[in-house]
Structures are given as structure tokens and as C-alpha cells.
Amino acid sequence: MKTKIYIRTFGCQMNAADSGVMRGILEDRGFEFSEKPEDAELVIFNSCSVRDHAENRMFSNLGLAMKKNPEAAFILAGCTAKRYGEELFKRFPRLGAVMAPSELFSIGDIAEKVMSGGRAAALEGGSYGFVSRRGGVSEFVVIQTGCDNYCSYCVVPFLRDAERYRPAEDILREAECLAASGTNEIVFLGQNVNSYRDEKTGGDFSDLLARAAKIDGIRRIRFLTSHPKDISGRLIAEFASNPKLARHLHLPVQSGSDSVLKAMNRKYGSGDYLKILEKLRESAPDIALTTDVIVGFPGETDSDFAQTLNLIRSAAFDGVYVFKYSPREGTASFSMKDDVRDEQKKERLSAALALAKELALKKREGWIGQKAETLFENDDVGHSSQNYLVFKKGAKAGDFGGVRIKAVSGFRLIAE
């Protein structure tokens, strides 16, 4: 009998991609996957540490999963495993292994060790490798790991090591494997994809996009995440010249106040940011733009927050993810006075979300009567080039093409 595994993923797309890679490696080793954690003999939690709320939620889910499945073995992978290391064996005596994100490719050996009753702590070292995997209609492909930006609020550089780039050859080979198994869309992933460099050819991120667009079967390419300080003129031009590049850019701004941006160590001002958006819209008038915003950063005044709302309005975003500042030990901002009261953070969160919703709905209503190029990842459900969720009754997974939008329901576009 083959061991059945269940992987539960918390946090960002990077973690979702890492879970996909772990699955590929474990399938190669002959493990099977179960749909429910209760049926699994080995449960892997792939954790997130970006905000304390995410971390606490993961810990309580882990305790619950252990109670519900008293026979199973458990592995904790991801950023929280790296952050607390072997301490976690005391808190969760049933944990068989803790594994840092950089040790992703050791999952096969670690799973075998844990299933034979051993214990493992893989917290330092490791390198990204190659796994030939099969995929669904849309799949993540990691191009860059780690981060060197040290935004003052963020734990990622401490938990995911220094920035490294995968060789273009490996990335393209992985995308070809996926395309051969039926994948139509690849989403290139990294904390900071715009700084991508291929050591062998010296090619940059735009070169990688142009090469990926030549792969048969790949109909659309997306990427995440971009840092405003690294957006190049070449990349902006790529939106005009590469028809496979989805018309969507997620460009986290974090704040509309220059003094807060400085304290966040973001290395751009609100004016620079708005100029980038202007150039992007010149290059691709139908591009959708989304962002991340943190409210309640130490020292954020009412006037700073008003500037954030003003920026959101002038940028006319298609979507804004708003986060309440969460102080994280070890980061530079942890030693700044967390002087915005929680009540105030909550009020700012609601105000930013309300504005984001108003803008997002307006943008979507503008699509009524228009044709939206859509790739259906599942029957009836897909995403337009602008990354809007699209519903079309009768559409089949893998269908791709323009669909006419007849209505908007919530944030979804409804096609004829």
C-alpha cells in the first residue's frame, strides 16, 4: 500500500507553488495524495509567517488536524518552520519534521524518514532544483527565490534567504513539461521577478517572457510579484509587444505617503509610482492594475493615510489588497513605536477596503457589453486577461477566447 499524503497550504502564491513542487517530487517517489486530511497517513502543513494572524491561524489548524487524525505523521514546511525551528517539536511533540522553504527539494527524503519513524530538522541550506511535473490549465513556475529588499516591515528576507534566480533553461523546460501535460497558462513567480537575471545568457525578465511565449501550448503568461523600483522600460514595452502576456500587473505600492514609504524602505516615492502606472497604461490601455497596501504602519498619521486613499483613487486600481500592519520580530520596523491604535488600524482598513471595492466594481461594470479574452481553468469558471473572475455556463476547462460580458455579480463578470 502506498502512503497517502495531504498538503495544506497557507499564505501567498509562492507557498502554493512550493506545495505544487513538493507534490511533484512526492509523486515521483511513489506517494499518493488524498483529498481529505483525515484520510492521509502523512499531513504536510506549508506555513506562512508574514502576519501574526496567519501564523496563529496555522498553529490552531495544525493542533486541530492532529486531534482529528491521531494516527497520521506530520511535517511542518515553510516560513513558520524556518522561524521557530526545532522549538516546534516541544510545542507539537507529534511533529516528525520541520523544513525551511529553501529545503523544498529534500521533501522526498524527509517524508521517507518521517514515515519510518524518524525525525528531521532541515532548516539551513538546500537549493532549487528541477522537477518534471504535470499540471492543470494554469500553473505556477518559480523563477526566483528569496528576497534582498528588506522592506522594514517584512520577515520574508529573513526566512527565505538571499535572492537567487533559476537558470532560464530549467524554467523553460519546466514550462514545456507542463504545456505537454495540458497546461495553457504559466504564472512566473518570485518575490521580485523584475530583477530576474539568467546567469548563463545574461538575459533579463523581458527576455524570459519573450522565450516563454514561444512554447507551443502556452497561451497566456502571468507573473507575480513586481517591485516598483525594478520595473524597466523594456518590461513596460513587453506588454505592447507580447500578445501572450496577460494584461494585468500586480504592483504593490504599500502606502501613498512619501514619508511612510521611506520608513518602509521601499526606495520609490508616490510620484514615481504613479508615473509607472501612466507608462503602463500608455503601453497597454486595457491593462488591469492591482496593488497591496499596509495601513497603520508605525508613525502613519491621518494625513499619511489620506494620501494613501488619494493614491488609490488617482491610480484607479482594479483591485487593492489591504493589510493591517503586523509588527514582526526581527524586522527593522519592529523597533519603531507601533503607535497607531488597533481601533484606528481597523478604521483605516475598512475605509481603504470600501474605496477599493467602489473602484473595483466600477471597473468591472465597464466590461458589460465588451468581449473579455478568457481562459477557463475549470468548467464554467475562468479568468480574463485582466485577471477578473469570469463565469460562463457551459464553458469547459481549457476553453480560451473572447467571451461577451452581459452582467457583473459581486466581483465576477458573467458571460453570455
From the list ligand SAM, ligand SF4, none, pick the one residue 51 interacts with, judged by a Cβ distance below 5 to 8 Å according to partner type.
ligand SAM
Give every strand in the sheet of 138-142, ordered side by side.
138-142, 185-189, 220-224
Task: Give the integer Cα–Cα distance in Å for 52 and 174.
Answer: 34
Q: Work out which of 80, 145, 184, 254 binds ligand SAM, going by CB under 6 A.
A: 254
Nearest to 126 by CA among 168, 93, 159: 159
User: Given candidates 326, 384, 385, 386, which one binds ligand SAM under the rule CB under 6 A?
Assistant: 326
294, interface contact from ligand SF4, ligand SAM, none, CB < 5-8 Å by kind: ligand SAM
Which of 5, 26, 50, 218 is in the footprint of ligand SAM by CB under 6 A? 50
Interface size with ligand SF4, residues (CB under 6 A): 10
Per CB under 6 A, the list member of 151, 309, 340, 395 interacting with ligand SF4 is 151
Residues written for the chain: 416
260 touches ligand SF4 by CB under 6 A: no
Rounded least distance, CB 408 to ligand SAM, Å: 27
* Residue 21: contacted member of ligand SF4, ligand SAM, none (CB under 5 to 8 Å, by partner type): none
* Residue 294 binds to ligand SAM (criterion: CB under 6 A): yes
In whole angstroms, the minimum distance from the beta carbon of 39 to ligand SAM comes to 31
Q: Where along the sequence are the contacts to ligand SF4 (CB under 6 A)?
A: 147, 149-151, 154, 156-157, 191-192, 227
- Write out the residues near ligand SAM by the rule CB under 6 A: 12, 50-51, 153-154, 156, 191-192, 225, 227, 252, 254, 292, 294, 323, 325-326, 328
